[in-house]
């Protein structure tokens, strides 16, 4: 069989058309809910004062109840973004100046920024090289007397190693918070990710599994935390006297409220979550089967008694087995019409804000705050596994999602096969 020339070297690409945009199927169900809100004229049901409207309008409360039922928790509290939900969760955990929160460096910036919002200090633990979630051993090594919270991330659609994290949290009397923005519906030993820790954060951003445009939800079984979350999203300091609340710690509130329009979209979207997850899992299964023959690619790990919902399909690349570097491989795939990204996320502690320890004002707060004697330093080498994944190994693609088909994802494998067939020419091109 004649070898087809790589598109990078002047040949025709595997795909001549772009992959279709991600869709969460906004259809008549969402339209009907939204029109009901528009016709009623109340686009937000919240009021920043004590009373019936303090907890939001009809759609917000309905969406919270459906979310609570879907994930089997006592409480669900909505927010206008997952970022504001993360901040509120750290606040509800009692975090303040002088405290430390251990989290992953291999995640979106908001996971760590929410700690700074409370004038506390992020401490970064390394990640598991198979699941890319936080490594419990690294967490335990970085606990100090100032540690208050473990904020772990269920990355790419796979849950973290919860048995070990729970034992650490209980032994050290720490709050365990899950950033579950990428893993709604994933299971860890029969338990839903996001419901295992003290609080779990879900994202409803437009490119997540389901969406409200922007939005977030926290689920918890802790009534005290749920009450705090409701207060901080809605100017809580203004209602403490009216509610007879004697706990004023971390009660400076914000406007983190979800609109009735967002909740209206969320109600039918939530009902579609299982469909989208099943589609992602099926497409990922097809792609994994097609890539298993290539020893330079490690397909996503799914740990025993866990499920993966494939927010992203993340692979590890081994340049020693194929003889080209990751950049060249990614360039060749992209030229074939296959969307891929290298590295995913630069470890957060390499961002200027952390390297220079400069978050608030010009005096280095909270890193140099008089309440914080920790003297933390952020520098290269802090989390070697996360750095290696970013610099050399991880490749991600987002094609395992609706409305893509099995043929669409098989184009990825066809492009890989084409690269392998032309590997000598590609090595020469690299040289």
DSSP labels for 324-358? Answer: S-HHHHHHHHHHTT---EESS---GGGSHHHHTT-
Does residue 430 have a pLDDT over 90? Answer: no
Please give the Cα distance from 118 to 65 (Å, whole number): 29
Please give the Cα distance from 204 to 187 (Å, whole number): 19
Per-residue pLDDT reduced to its tens digit, 147-182: 999 999 999 999 999 999 999 999 999 999 999 999
Task: Give residue 173's Cα distance to chain centre.
Answer: 25
If pLDDT is split at 50, 70 and 90, which confidence band does 2 have?
low
Does residue 408 have a pLDDT over 70? Answer: yes
Does residue 245 have a pLDDT over 80? Answer: no
Pairing relationship of beta strands 175-179 and 147-153 according to DSSP bridges: parallel
Does residue 243 have a pLDDT over 80? Answer: no
Looking at residue 299, its pLDDT comes to: 98
Please give the Cα distance from 240 to 422 (Å, whole number): 69
Residue 397 C-beta-side C-alpha neighbours within 13 Å: 28
| Region 124-139 average pLDDT | 98
Please give the Cα distance from 118 to 291 (Å, whole number): 45
CA nearest to 183, candidates 213, 208, 216? 208
The residue ranges of DSSP E strands in 135-277, in sequence order, are 147-153, 175-179, 187-188, 191-192, 199-203, 216-220
Please give the Cα distance from 44 to 53 (Å, whole number): 10
Q: Name the strand (E) or helix (H) holding 290.
A: helix 273-291
Per-residue pLDDT reduced to its tens digit, 26-37: 999 999 999 999
Please give the Cα distance from 158 to 217 (Å, whole number): 19
Task: Tell me the CA distances in angstroms from 21 to 74, 86, 105, 179, one per residue in order.
Answer: 36, 28, 29, 25
CA nearest to 182, candidates 195, 198, 166, 193? 193
Please give the Cα distance from 55 to 86 (Å, whole number): 19
CA nearest to 215, candidates 229, 228, 202? 202
pLDDT more than 70, % of the chain: 99
Record the pTM.
0.96
Please give the Cα distance from 339 to 342 (Å, whole number): 10
Cβ–Cβ under 8 Å, residues 197 and 176:
yes
Per-residue pLDDT reduced to its tens digit, 43-59: 999 999 988 899 999 99
CA nearest to 125, candidates 114, 138, 143? 138
Phi and psi at residue 341, to the nearest 5°: -130, 145
If pLDDT is split at 50, 70 and 90, which confidence band does 242 have?
confident
DSSP type of residue 48: S
Cis, peptide link before residue 202, omega less than 30° from 0: no
CATH number given to 28-272: 3.40.640.10
Domain ranges of the chain: 28-272
Q: What is the largest CA-CA distance in the chain?
A: 80
Looking at residue 272, its pLDDT comes to: 98
Please give the Cα distance from 427 to 408 (Å, whole number): 27
Task: Give residue 331's Cα distance to chain centre.
Answer: 26
Looking at residue 241, its pLDDT comes to: 83
Question: Which range has the worst mean pLDDT, 177-186, 189-198, 372-381, 399-408?
Answer: 372-381
């Amino acid at each position: 069989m004649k070898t087809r020339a790589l598109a990078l070297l002047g040949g025709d690409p595997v795909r001549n058309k772009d992959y279709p945009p991600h869709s969460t199927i906004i259809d008549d169900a969402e339209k009907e809910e939204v029109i009901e809100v528009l016709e009623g004229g109340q686009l937000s049901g919240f009021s920043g004062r004590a009373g019936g409207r303090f907890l939001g309008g009809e759609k917000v409360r309905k969406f919270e109840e459906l979310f609570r039922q879907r994930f089997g928790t006592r409480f669900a509290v909505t927010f206008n973004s997952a970022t504001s939900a993360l901040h509120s969760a750290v606040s509800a955990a009692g975090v303040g100046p002088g405290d430390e929160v251990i989290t992953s460096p291999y995640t979106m910036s908001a996971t760590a920024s929410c700690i700074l919002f409370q004038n506390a200090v992020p401490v970064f633990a390394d990640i598991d090289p198979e699941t890319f979630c936080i490594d419990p051993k690294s967490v335990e090594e970085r606990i100090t007397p100032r540690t208050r919270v473990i904020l772990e991330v269920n990355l790419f659609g796979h849950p973290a190693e919860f048995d070990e994290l729970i034992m650490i949290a209980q032994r050290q009397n720490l709050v365990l918070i899950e950033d579950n923005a990428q893993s709604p519906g994933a299971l860890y030993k029969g338990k839903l990710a996001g419901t295992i820790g003290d609080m779990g954060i879900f994202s409803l951003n437009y490119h997540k599994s389901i969406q409200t445009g922007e939005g977030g939800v926290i689920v918890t079984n802790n009534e005290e935390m749920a009450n705090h979350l409701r207060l901080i999203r809605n100017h809580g300091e203004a209602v403490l006297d009216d509610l007879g609340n004697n706990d004023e710690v971390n009660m400076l509130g914000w406007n983190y409220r979800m609109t009735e329009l967002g909740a209206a979209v969320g109600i039918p979207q939530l009902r579609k979550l299982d469909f989208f997850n099943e589609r992602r899992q099926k497409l990922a299964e097809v792609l994994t089967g097609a890539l298993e023959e290539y020893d330079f690619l490690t397909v996503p790990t799914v740990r025993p008694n866990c499920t993966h919902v494939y927010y992203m399909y993340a692979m590890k690349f081994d340049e020693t087995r194929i003889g080209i570097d990751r950049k060249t491989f990614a360039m060749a795939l992209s030229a074939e019409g296959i969307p891929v990204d290298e590295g995913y996320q630069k470890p957060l502690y390499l961002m200027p804000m952390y390297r220079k320890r400069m978050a608030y004002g010009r005096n280095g707060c909270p890193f140099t705050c008089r309440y914080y004697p920790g003297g933390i330093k952020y520098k290269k080498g802090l989390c070697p596994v996360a750095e290696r994944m970013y610099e050399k190994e991880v490749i991600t693609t987002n094609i395992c999602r609706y409305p893509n088909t099995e043929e669409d994802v098989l184009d990825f494998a066809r492009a890989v096969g084409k690269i392998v067939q032309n590997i000598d020419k590609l090595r020469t091109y690299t040289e």
